[in-house]
Amino acid sequence: MSHRAVSLLSKFSSTLTNAQIRGKAHFTFQPSTTLPAGLQGQETSKMNLMQSVNEAMRIAMETDDSAVLFGEDVAFGGVFRCSLDLQKKFGKDRVFNTPLCEQGIAGFGIGVAAAGATAIAEIQFGDYIFPAYDQFDCGKLTVRTTWGAVGHGALYHSQSPEANFTHTPGLKLVVPRGPIQAKGLLLSCIRDPNPCIFFEPKILYRLASEDVPTGDYTIPLGQAETVRQGKDLTLVAWGTQVHVALEAAQLAKEKLNADVEVIDLQTIQPWDEDHVVEVLGSVQKTGRLIVTHEAPISSGFGAEIASTVQKRCFLNLESPIERVAGFDTPFPHVHEPFYLPTIHRVFDAIKKSVNY
């Protein structure tokens, strides 16, 4: 590491406590203020993301006798406790541990799905999914796995690998921003006839808490959601980064008097390009676009969005499309505060775009 990098890290670290550097979120979770369409008035219960995932799997297994859940340590609840008590309720034949072998988990899931049952496979950490995913060529298989930075995970426990899978036709990829979306989107994945990968932002498992409808509901796959209205710039994100985007948008309002529209993509593949481009008049209305994600910038999914919007909105654009993302390095440990696309990095991109 260069002397300048060491000096910068030392200066930066001196302003942070150990709790801020390790384990503290680089954003503030912002609960949804409205329920998805059709759920207004339904009974709700306060849940974090881990509990909403557990609730979705419980409902899926109650309503589908063929559904089975398997993976590393799921029998006792898993390291994140997402499958807590499910074996007690549904028995060892339907909720069971597998060997520590991601290829085996995927292969077994494909066999279950090909035989006509519903497979819910857990890959304990998304970073280890790569040796397995070339097997995902069947139907009713949902692979649940973790996603994104957790504050202290480093290379093999903090990656955001969604872009790797968008090059595989037929897969559906989902990343929820909170408990309400997690439950509805996971139930949609489990009941979809196509193979789905459901990425769960691990830092939100206990950090995120919302009033989640207690009944059985789904949120359609392939549909984005506008979570903040604006007229000056469109900001697209997914998962944890939606909360970073919302905070940056608020900062832009306070410092620049700029109205930033924030869109949660929700489904990465197939992604809702019509919503980003023209539904509610987003980029065609604002004339500016920033895409932000935790994954490295090169070949990140933001590039696909930027390319599509540039083609469809060329005559509407008032400034170049910007991407704010992770850097093209392995995910660092002690340098994580430098790596992440923080509120201030997103704000700087907004300032550059509106002043172009």
CA–CA dist 87, 102 (Å, integer): 21
pLDDT tens for each residue of 223-248? 999 999 999 999 999 999 999 999 99
What gap in Å lies between CA 143 and CA 332, rounded to an integer?
26
pLDDT at position 279, please? 53
> How far apart are the C-alpha atoms of 356 and 31, rounded to whole Å?
33
* Of residues 207, 237, 193, 168, the one with CA closest to residue 49: 207
Residue of 55, 72, 122, 157 marked active site:
157
pLDDT of residue 136: 73
pLDDT 10s digit of each residue in the chain, 356 long? 444 434 444 444 444 445 444 557 889 999 998 899 889 889 999 999 999 999 999 999 999 999 999 999 999 999 999 999 999 999 999 999 999 999 999 999 999 999 999 999 999 999 889 888 777 767 789 999 999 988 777 778 888 999 999 998 889 999 999 999 999 999 999 999 999 999 999 999 999 999 999 999 999 999 999 999 999 999 999 999 999 999 999 999 999 999 999 999 999 999 999 999 975 457 989 999 999 999 999 999 999 999 999 999 999 999 999 999 999 999 888 888 889 999 999 999 999 999 99
Distance of alpha carbon 349 from alpha carbon 185, whole angstroms: 30
Pairing of strands 95-97, 119-123: unpaired
Question: Residue 76 has what pLDDT?
Answer: 94
Domains in the chain: ranges and CATH: 44-213 (3.40.50.970), 225-355 (3.40.50.920)
Active site residue 275: no
Q: Is the separation of the CB atoms in 228 and 262 below 8 Å?
A: yes
Residue 157 a catalytic site member: yes
Among 72, 102, 210, 304, the active-site one is 102
Position 298 scores a pLDDT of 96
CB 63 within 8 A of CB 216: yes
In this prediction the pTM is 0.90
For every residue of 32-62, DSSP letters joined together read -SSPPTT-TT--EEEEEHHHHHHHHHHHHHH
Question: In Å, how far are 45, 109, 303 from 181, measured between CA atoms?
Answer: 14, 24, 25
Pairing of β 172-174 and β 267-269:
antiparallel
d(CA 279, CA 355): 25
What's the pLDDT at 23? Answer: 53
Measured in degrees and rounded to the nearest 5, phi and psi for residue 255 equal: -95, -30
Strand order in the sheet with 141-147: 95-97, 68-71, 119-123, 141-147, 196-201, 172-174, 267-269
The 10 Å CB-count burial string (b at 16+, else e) for 53-89 is: bbbbbbbbbeeeeebbbbbbebbebbebebbeebbee
